[in-house]
Amino acid sequence: MLTKLLKNEIKATGRIFLPLYGALLILTIVTKLALTFGAPDFFSDNVATNPFMEVVIGISFTLYFIAVVALSVMTLVMIIQRFYKNLFTDEGYLMFSLPVKTWELVISKLLVGLMWSAVCTLMFVVSFFILSLGSFTMMDLTQGISAAYTDYSNTFGASLNVLIFEIIIFGIVSTVASILMIYVSIAIGQLFNQHRIVASFGAYIVITIAIQIISSIVMAVFAISNLDTVISQGNDIQAMEMMHWIINVSTFLNVILCGAFYFATQYIMKNRLNLE
């Protein structure tokens, strides 16, 4: 049943996202063409173009910028709207009477939300790549990367892969946590009989403050217990160790948050559902 829910969720969201991705790609190409023909030296410093091309480039850059912002905002809006509207307004009557488990409803929304977040990031990377084509060669890119690796291992005596891996894990876990935080806020909001959206925002703010307090305490405890390193700045290797420590502890805290948000959301949906 989870696959059926996923299929339905992708269908419901894809009809919004696919045209937006298409628009982004078209605007990227248009901007790139305008740059190539109108200002071939754009990425070097001596920009010399005629006024007409300047206007064309200005317009296409503005539209491109709008598309990037719209896509980012839309991803967030869809994550909120699919959870709130599809489950807690009239549509919820249908979704909650389907022969599926409550956790399947939560997970299907979460996975599809994550998927679009990832696709959105990928689209930005592809788009920036297209825009910057010609300003560097593949050789530059591979040389740059291998230089970074050598540099890192010379300074810290370790592979850069470890750090990159830790950062990617942190990125995924914190994205899941931020989506689940939205879900739990919406679920808490619907416990109220009136002003549910306001209550959801309130819940979100309260959770944010609570997390701030907890993470400040954790960081303070850490700073005090490692006072020597923090004050003397230590050497590069110690600083990098601290960096690893901060990333991994943040990941760990986010995993705990994910668990707490997920189970709270599921509990409310299962036992305290109160559709309007």
Partner 1 sequence: MTILNAKNLTKTFGKKTALAQIDLDIPRGRIIGLLGPNGSGKSTFIKLATGLLVPTAGEITIDGVAPGVDTKSKTSYLSERTYLNGWMRVNELLAFFEDFYQDFNRIKAENMLKDLNINPNDRLKTMSKGTKEKVQLILVMSRSAELYLLDEPIGGVDPAARDYILNTIITNYKEDASVIISTHLIADIEQILDDIVFISNGEITLTSSVDEIRETHNQSVDGLFREVFKC
Asked if 8 interacts with partner 1 (CB under 8 A), we say: yes
CB of 191 to partner 1, least distance (A): 11
CB of 14 to partner 1, least distance (A): 12
Identify the residue among 90, 140, 151, 236 touching partner 1 (CB under 8 A): 90
For partner 1, which is the closer residue by CB, 96 or 204?
96
**Chain centroid, CA 164 distance in Å:** 17
Asked if 271 interacts with partner 1 (CB under 8 A), we say: yes
Identify the residue among 94, 118, 145, 239 touching partner 1 (CB under 8 A): 94
Please choose, from the candidates 259, 266, 238, 243, the residue with its C-alpha nearest in 3D space to the C-alpha of residue 87.
266
Name the one range near partner 1 by CB under 8 A: 34-42, 54-62, 97-105, 156-164: 97-105
The residues, ordered by sequence, that sit 6+ positions from 234 with a Cβ below 8 Å of its Cβ are: 228, 242
Identify the residue among 23, 100, 249, 264 touching partner 1 (CB under 8 A): 100
What are the two backbone dihedrals, phi and then psi, of residue 47, each rounded to the nearest 5 degrees? -85, 115
Compute the distance between CA of residue 62 and CA of residue 253 in angstroms, rounded to an integer.
Answer: 39
Show contacts with partner 1 in window 27-86 (CB under 8 A): 86
Identify the residue among 18, 98, 125, 167 touching partner 1 (CB under 8 A): 98
Compute the distance between CA of residue 255 and CA of residue 45 in angstroms, rounded to an integer.
Answer: 46
108: helix, coil or strand? helix
Contact 119, 113 (CB under 8 A): no
Name the token pair of 19: 């045209």
Compute the distance between CA of residue 245 and CA of residue 256 in angstroms, rounded to an integer.
Answer: 17
For partner 1, which is the closer residue by CB, 195 or 272?
272
Identify the residue among 29, 101, 149, 242 touching partner 1 (CB under 8 A): 101
Show contacts with partner 1 in window 171-200 (CB under 8 A): 193
For partner 1, which is the closer residue by CB, 89 or 208?
89
Going from the C-alpha of 273 to that of each of 110, 132, 133, 181, 200, the distances in angstroms are: 19, 50, 52, 18, 15
For partner 1, which is the closer residue by CB, 33 or 275?
275
Identify the residue among 91, 175, 204, 226 touching partner 1 (CB under 8 A): 91
Name the one range near partner 1 by CB under 8 A: 6-14, 117-125, 149-157, 252-260: 6-14
Asked if 113 interacts with partner 1 (CB under 8 A), we say: no
User: Helices (DSSP H) in the chain: which residue ranges?
Assistant: 2-38, 51-88, 91-95, 102-132, 138-156, 160-189, 196-225, 227-232, 236-271
For partner 1, which is the closer residue by CB, 244 or 270?
270
Binding site for partner 1 (CB under 8 A): 1, 4, 7-8, 12, 15, 86, 90-94, 96-101, 193, 270-275
